[in-house]
Amino acid sequence: MRVEVTMPRMGQSMEEGTILNWLKTAGATIKRGEPLFEIESDKATVEVEALTTGKLAEIIVPAGTTVSVGSVVAFIEAAERIAVAAPAAPPREPIVDAAPRRQPISPVARRVAHEHGLDPAAISGTGRGGRIVKEDVQATVTQRDAVPAKSARLDVSPVARKLARQHGLNLAQIVGSAPNGRIIKRDILAAVVSQAQAPSTAAEHRVPLTRLRRIAAGRMAESKSTIPHFYLTLDIDMGRALELRESLKRRGQTVSINDLILKATALALTEYPTLNATFADGELILNEHINLAVAVAVGDRARPEGLTTPVVHDCGTLRLTEIAAQAAVLAGRARENKLKPDDLSGGTFTVSNLGMYGIRQFQAIINPPQVAILAVGALQKVAVFDADDRVRPVQRLTVTLSADHRATDGAEAAGFLNVLQTALEDAFVLVE
């Protein structure tokens, strides 16, 4: 049986992906769970595993090609049907199929047709038995491109066309990122961000954006232009949390400051579920599970490639040490570009920590369709007055919540931060 291999979806916002490299060649025997190809999405570079044991019968989409989610990229001949001889049967009279047969097409012709957005069913084959060959596809492309320019209109979504008009952009100068080169909203927003940069008279060295940064630019511009952000900032005394961390360390359990924050965030979201939600089609969808996306920088500090957000699933049911273990595994996979599709899907709330860079406080941009994100700064040793007006040193952490005003309000967001603060300042509730 021939099984389709499709471009997987790695998160709610993923619309397309680029095949970076095929790890198996056509004709190779593969096992279920074995890495088959690498893809790059708006979130990360990921190895995609084979879901079927058998033989890689045909690769349709070559490396370097971008296709939409769900597109067929290859076929696997399932193991159950490989080299299985059918029992001898008595001769029968030939019959005529009631349903039309699929028109045969060579692998090269299929690839060329896919690259040019052509449906093989609309191409007449000149090869043996009506088989479609490369020359047939090229002839169809030539014929299509010869159509007068008046009918060769740019493929632009209505929203993208309206935005381009508002910002005075020339659509002919914008490259569409959707299938078949269609220009969509995020392409216009990315162009707006690029246009906003002031021109320089100094010598320029242009560096093309990585796919990760290009997609992120469009999505973040969309978030800021469509989501009514508001921000609340709070200082937290981390003294007891650091004592807890040292206590666990003496027992051989490694827990980072970010792990403590993730656990406290999960406790706060349990009490304020409207922040553990998604906003879509004018409705607030409350999520049953607390899946925390953790922003991780990809690349080194000198040449960063962008951010990805692997997800620690079901944090509401995990112990602190379990959260720490899962977060460490995900961070390692992210930096090695070995994240799996499941590692990037299902996030309901994001935590972004720049404390390791010495950043004291910042405001993060909400990652739609989520409705909030927590920005975490660096620990600072500061002097404060206690209840008796005595000065004492405090290890202070500053956090800022960015929230969607369509989904929540200031009072509710403040309540969430107060629960977070109480959990970290008490600290030992994190291990109950």
What does the pLDDT look like over 23-69, one tens digit per residue?
888 888 988 888 898 887 666 678 888 888 999 989 998 888 888 88
Report the C-alpha gap between 198 and 188 in whole angstroms: 18
* DSSP 8-state symbol, 318: S
Give residue-wise pLDDT tens across range 254-272. 999 999 999 999 999 999 9
DSSP state string for 187-244? HHHHHHHHHHSPP-SS-----PPPHHHHHHHHHHHHHHHHS-EEEEEEEEE-HHHHHH
Residue 138, CA atoms < 13 Å, CB-side half-sphere:
4
Q: Is the pLDDT of residue 86 over 50?
A: no
pLDDT given for residue 202 in this prediction: 54
More confidently predicted of 305 and 93: 305
Report the C-alpha gap between 223 and 404 in whole angstroms: 10
pLDDT given for residue 11 in this prediction: 67
Does residue 114 have an active-site annotation? no
pLDDT given for residue 351 in this prediction: 96
Instruction: Find the Cα–Cα–Cα–Cα dihedral 198, 201, 205, 210, rounded to 10°.
Output: 10
State the average pLDDT for the chain: 82
Q: How confident is the model at residue 84 (pLDDT cuts 50, 70, 90)?
A: very low
Q: Are 401 and 216 in contact (CB under 8 A)?
A: no
pLDDT given for residue 82 in this prediction: 43
pLDDT given for residue 214 in this prediction: 75
Q: What are phi and psi of 389, to 5 degrees?
A: 60, 25
Rg (CA), the chain: 27
Report the C-alpha gap between 58 and 107 in whole angstroms: 7
Q: Are 358 and 378 in contact (CB under 8 A)?
A: yes
The closest alpha carbon to 56, from 131, 3, 109, 115, belongs to 3
Query: Which of 114, 116, 229, 405 is an active site residue?
Result: 405
Give residue-wise pLDDT tens across range 96-153. 443 344 567 776 677 677 666 677 777 877 776 677 777 777 777 766 655 444 434 6
Q: What is the share, in percent, of the chain residues with pLDDT greater than 90?
A: 36
Q: pTM here?
A: 0.61
The closest alpha carbon to 351, from 383, 376, 385, 382, belongs to 376
Distances (CA, A) of 304 to 114, 210, 363: 33, 10, 20
Instruction: Using the Cα atoms of residue 69, residue 176, residue 23 and residue 46 in order, give the sign of their dihedral.
Output: negative
pLDDT given for residue 425 in this prediction: 95
Q: What separation, in Å, do the N-terminal and C-terminal C-alpha atoms of the chain show?
A: 52
Question: E strand or H helix at 365, and its extent?
Answer: none
pLDDT given for residue 88 in this prediction: 43
Strand pairing category for 372-376 and 2-6:
unpaired
pLDDT given for residue 64 in this prediction: 80
pLDDT given for residue 213 in this prediction: 75
Name which of 22-31, 197-206, 370-379 the model is least confident about.
197-206
pLDDT given for residue 365 in this prediction: 94
pLDDT given for residue 143 in this prediction: 65
Q: How confident is the model at residue 371 (pLDDT cuts 50, 70, 90)?
A: very high
Strand-pairing partners, residue 312, are 292
The closest alpha carbon to 431, from 318, 291, 305, belongs to 318
pLDDT given for residue 89 in this prediction: 44
Angle between helical axes of 257-271 and 410-426 (0-180°, round to 10): 130
Report the C-alpha gap between 153 and 420 in whole angstroms: 54
Q: Is the pLDDT of residue 156 over 60?
A: yes
Q: What are phi and psi of 19, to 5 degrees?
A: -80, 115
Q: How far is CA 407 from the centre of its chain?
A: 23
Q: Are 139 and 27 in contact (CB under 8 A)?
A: no
DSSP state string for 246-263? HHHHHTT----HHHHHHH
Give residue-wise pLDDT tens across range 226-256. 899 999 999 999 999 999 999 999 999 999 9
Distances (CA, A) of 380 to 25, 99, 239, 359, 399: 54, 73, 11, 10, 12
More confidently predicted of 205 and 344: 344
pLDDT given for residue 95 in this prediction: 39
Q: How confident is the model at residue 300 (pLDDT cuts 50, 70, 90)?
A: low
Give residue-wise pLDDT tens across range 316-359. 999 999 999 999 999 888 888 788 888 888 999 999 999 988 99
pLDDT given for residue 148 in this prediction: 42
Over range 166-181, report the average pLDDT.
80
